Amino acid sequence: MNVRHKRLVVISNRLPVSIRDEEGGQTLQTASGGLVTALAPIMNRNHGHWIGWLGQNQPDHVDRLVQDFNKQGSYTIQQIPLSNEEIEKYYLGFTNGCIWPLFHDLLPMATFNQDEWDAYVRINERFGEAAAKQVEKNDFIWVHDYHLMMVAQVLRKKKVRQPLAYFHHIPFPSPDIFRRMPWREEILNALLSFDLVGFQSLRDRRNFIASVREMVRGAYFTRKRRHTLVHLHGRSVRVGNYPISIDFEEFDEAARSQEVRLEMAAMKAAFSAETLILGLDRLDYTKGIPERFLAFERLLELHPELIGKVSLLQVVVPSRIGVQMYRDLKEELDSLTGRINGRFSEYGYVPIYYYFKHLSRAELLAHYRACNVALITPLRDGMNLVAKEYAASHVDLDGSLILSEFTGSAEQLERGAFIVNPYDLEGVADAVYRAITLPEKEQHKRMRSMRSQVRQNDVHRWVGWFTDGIEAT
C-alpha cells in the first residue's frame, strides 16, 4: 500500500482557507501554516479532499464561496457548519475548556460538563458522517488533533475500511492527569479505532501507552524501536511519535530577503537597548508569559549592570478574547508590564516592550533576526514551532535560544538551545545571562546545530514519516 499515491482525505477542526475581502466581493484563499504547506503537494497531486469548519464568522454565501474554491483548486474542501450553541459547547466548552487545560497538565483550569461532552460527541459524529459519504475505495484518511478524537469510531460504524490515521498536535498527559477525565475510556477506545496514532514526542507516546495499559481492558502491547503496537479486539494499532516541523528552506530564503533586512534594520534603530530578547506567543495561559516576565525581572535584580542594556520584546497574538480566563490573563500581563517598567525604566530605556497584535510575515521574520535571544518558555507545549522558526531565520548564525524543557521541540534542539524549567525563575534568569554573554564562537556552534537539525527534519520529512507509518500498519 503506497498512501502517497492515494487520494488524501484530511479531516480537521478548521479548513485550510480563510475569507478574504477583494474588489468585487469575498473569496476563500489558502491560509498559511506548516500543516497546509506540508500537505498541499499531496492534496494537489492526488486531488485530495479537506473536511472542516470555516470559522465562527461565516457569511450567508459561504456555500457559494466553497463552490468557487472547489472549481478553481486542484483539491476540494467541505464545510461543516456549526451553530452558535455548538461553538459554545463543543469548541469553547469541551475542547478548549476541558481538553486543552487537562492535556497541558493544568488540571485546576479544566471543567467537566456533561452537556459539553455530549456536544463534542455529536460534532465528531457529524464530521465522521460527512467523511463517510465522501470517501472512496482507495482513499487515505488523516484526522488531525484533539477536536476530533472520536471520528474513527464513527467511520468504523459506517463500515469504512480505508486506512485511518490520527495525529495529536498537543501534549498527551500522564495517566495520573488523564484519569481525571470522566470520559477517559470512551476517548481511549475511540483513538484505538484508528490504524495509526501519532504524537509529537516520545513522552506523549509513552503517556498514551501508559493510559491505555491502565484504563483499557484487554489491551496488550508489542514494543518496537520506533513505535508500539497496541493489540485490542483482534486489531493492531500502531502508535508512534512523529515530531512536526516547518519548511526550513522557505524560512531561510525569506529571512534573507531585502524586505526583511530593511524591516530588521528599522527595528534595531527603534530600540535603545543593545540586546533584545524576544518573546512571541499566542495569548494563552499555557505559554508561561507571566512567569517569563517575572524571570526577566529577576535577571535585572541579579544583574543591575544590564539595566539600560537589555530589553524584553514581548509580542502577544490576540486569541479567544471573548473568554474571561483569557481577558484575565491579558490584564495580568498589562499589570506586570507596568510594575516592572516602573521599577527599572530609565530615561530613554524601557525594560519590557509589550505588544498585543498580529505580525505580518516580514515583521515576524524581522523580529526573529533582530533579537539576540529568543525566550520560549511554555509551561507545556506539544511542539512549539516558534523555536524552530527562530533557528531557521538566523541565517548569520547569531542569536541564542532559551527553551522550556516541557516543549516537544526541546527533544530535538537540546544540543543548541539552553533548556530551562519555566517555573524556575532564577534558573531562567541565569540562562538568559549565559545566553547574552555567550562567546560568538559558541553562539555560532549552537545555532549551526539547531539549524542543521531543523533542516534535516523539516515538515516534508514529517509527512514522509507519517505516511511510512500508515503503510507499515
pLDDT in tens, 385-430: 999 999 999 999 999 999 999 999 999 999 999 999 999 999 999 9
| pLDDT recorded at residue 5 | 67
How sure is the predictor about 20, in pLDDT bands with cuts at 50, 70 and 90? confident
At a CB cut-off of 8 Å and minimum separation 6, what does 253 contact?
Answer: none
| pLDDT recorded at residue 323 | 80
Contact present, 403 and 378 (Cβ < 8 Å): no
Number of helices (H) and strands (E), helices first, in the chain?
19, 17
**216 vs 27, which has greater pLDDT?**
216
Mean pLDDT (the chain, rounded): 93
Residue type, 407: T
| pLDDT recorded at residue 21 | 77
Centre a 10 Å sphere on the Cβ of residue 360 and count the other Cβ atoms it contains: 10
Residue-wise pLDDT for 27-78, tens only, equals 888 876 667 877 877 888 888 999 999 886 676 778 888 888 898 878 999 9
Catalytic residue numbers read 169, 381
**276 vs 7, which has greater pLDDT?**
276
Grid coordinates belonging to 420: 530551562
Instruction: Indicate whether 210 pLDDT > 90.
Output: yes
Quote the CA–CA distance of 390 and 371 in Å, as a whole number. 10
Quote the CA–CA distance of 212 and 442 in Å, as a whole number. 44
CATH 3.40.50.2000 occupies which residues in the chain? 3-244+460-471, 248-456
CATH code of the region 248-456: 3.40.50.2000
Quote the CA–CA distance of 102 and 180 in Å, as a whole number. 9
Helix, strand, coil content of the chain in percent (nearest 5): 50, 20, 30
Residue type, 355: Y
CA nearest neighbour of 143 among 134, 152, 135: 152
Question: CATH says 3-244+460-471 is which class?
Answer: alpha beta
| Distance, CA of 256 to chain centre | 25
Unique residue bearing C-alpha cell 488531525:
144
**250 vs 319, which has greater pLDDT?**
250
